[in-house]
Homo-oligomer: A and B are copies of this chain.
Amino acid sequence: MNRSRPDTLAEVGERAWLKRVRRLMAEDGAELPLGIGDDAAILPSAPGPLVVSTDALVEGVHFRFDWTTPRDLGHKALAVNLSDLAAMGARPLAAFLALSVPPQVRLADLTAFFLGLRAEGRKWGCPLAGGDMTRGPQWTLTVTVLGRLGVAGRKGRPAGPLRRDGARPGDWVYVTGWPGRSGAGREALRRGLSAAALARAHRRPVPRLREGAWLAALGCVDAALDLSDGLWDDAGKLAEASSVRLDLWRDALPVDPAVNRLARKLRRDPLDWVLFGGEDYELLLATRRRLDLARDWPAVEDLAPLSLIGRVAAGRGVRLLDAAGRPLPVRDRTWKHF
């Protein structure tokens, strides 16, 4: 171990560290009129409305370094915010980070975090344009992302935004990907079980930006949101915002085979994770026409699978129906923030 190199933030000091961050991230923000380092960043003028979202992750509440590496965290901090843009059908422009860390934090961990953030940003064309770094008793990171809506059709009308309050009775309910993978992955990590794909879904969720933009361009999506608290709870939010009821079909819910395997091993009901696991970052949506997946969801676009899982009805709340259309009793196991 080379003791002459500063090992912690307290040793190297804030200003020297910020210079390093600037060098690390500079290339990605090179197109911006003014990136990291001034009082504020300047983003170029662009047409159309702006889409903005902000989300915080708190150590010990949203993540633990026991099974999340600093690099994973960099990826995830940006990904969960990009997921909000995806849920509006927007494309990312730039990200901002407010980071609080204890002074004893190791520079290697900080660097790994920023490299994760940078890699995720490169994947989606979302450079870090500015931020703030302060001391705090634990890691707390707030990312704010800015995006723009795309255009749809030859007339160039704006695609989206996909709001959550537009669902109407009769709409078809779809979900992307595999809700439950992240929750099952968290459980596997907690128990030290090997389940690589599930663990990855938990540590490095993939924002459904391509899917969101595609859905917005389809022009038949009445409402959408991204799943952060779990399918059951978030379906309730969509229902409430739209003043409708969502009927979900139990047998139509997509369950990843790896989730099924873990459930069997732990003698759990896989639907516990699918409905209540949380942190899925899949998109839940209501469409006014039933999609023809072969035409509307082309494999060549490399989109996540899309599953028809229910229907919107007049009323309120969410119901889970069996194959005969009978409501099933549901005990809400959603994790409560407060």
Each complex incorporates copies of this chain amounting to: 2
Bound-state Cα–Cα, A54 to B60, Å: 23
Bound-state Cα–Cα, A34 to B90, Å: 14
Contact with B along A19-46 (1 / 0, CB 8 A): 0000000000000011001111111110
Looking at the complex, which one of B42, B44, B49, B164 makes contact with A45 (CB distance below 8 Å)? B49
Which of A10, A39, A54, A97 has the most chain B CB atoms closer than 10 A to its own CB? Answer: A39
Q: A43-B49, A61-B136, A98-B142 are in contact. Are A38 and B338 (CB under 8 A)?
A: no
B146/A50 in contact, CB under 8 A:
yes
B56/A140 in contact, CB under 8 A:
yes
CB distance from A145 to the nearest CB of B (A): 8
Q: Is there a chain B Cβ closer than 8 Å to A69's Cβ?
A: no
Bound-state Cα–Cα, A53 to B54, Å: 13
Which of A43, A87, A132, A226 has the most chain B CB atoms closer than 10 A to its own CB? Answer: A132
Interface size on A, residues (CB 8 A): 68
Q: Is there a chain B Cβ closer than 8 Å to A131's Cβ?
A: yes
Cβ contacts under 8 Å, A97 to chain B: 54
Bound-state Cα–Cα, A336 to B61, Å: 28
Residues 150-203 (chain A) with a chain B CB within 8 angstroms: 161, 163-165
Q: Is there a chain B Cβ closer than 8 Å to A84's Cβ?
A: yes
Q: Is there a chain B Cβ closer than 8 Å to A246's Cβ?
A: no
CB distance from A181 to the nearest CB of B (A): 20
List the interface of chain A (C-beta within 8 A of B). 9-10, 13-14, 17, 33-34, 37-45, 47-58, 60-62, 84-85, 87-88, 90, 94, 96-100, 103, 129-138, 140, 142, 144, 146-147, 161, 163-165, 225-226, 241, 336-338
